[in-house]
Amino acid sequence: MNNNSPNLFQINLPRFQSWLTIVAICLLLGSLGLGWLVKAASIAIGLVIITPVVGFLGFFWWLRRSVVQAECPVCSYPLQGINGSEIQCTNCGELLNVDRGKLIRDTPPDTIDVIAVEVIQE
């Protein structure tokens, strides 16, 4: 390296060098009448960044609305399920339907489901 050579103008900006290059290319394309190309590329980059964020937030919004947390009507074990689905209690094995935020016991046909409220013995 020759230390005797004059350095009249030297900029050492490693962080900003790539950004300055991108800005210079965009300005060059804009001056040539290809500004639409710069706008299309910026829209595409924006969509690539924004779409996953919106999808992630939309999924969590749907999850909050659809997941039901309730107790099994047979054994009172806490369960989770998605609205409109059928689940099986992990404690007692009873088949349950998840409907409108509640767990409903799925009884077979020709079965009469009776709940005893109070039994009085004389």
In a domain, 30, yes or no: yes
The residue written with tokens 């779409």 in the block is 51
Print the domain residue range for 30. Answer: 15-63
Q: What angle in degrees, to the nearest 10, is found between the helix axes of 35-66 and 14-31?
A: 120
In degrees, rounded to 5, the angle at the alpha carbon of residue 93 between the alpha carbons of residues 88 and 97 is 30
Is 73 in a helix, a strand, or coil? Answer: coil
Q: How many domains would you assign to the chain?
A: 1
In a domain, 122, yes or no: no
pTM of the model: 0.48
In a domain, 22, yes or no: yes
What percentage of residues in the chain have a pLDDT greater than 90?
Answer: 16
Is 94 in a helix, a strand, or coil? Answer: coil
Does the pLDDT value for residue 68 go beyond 70? yes
pLDDT tens for each residue of 95-115: 899 988 888 887 777 777 777
* Best CA proximity match to 41, nearest among 14, 22, 61: 22
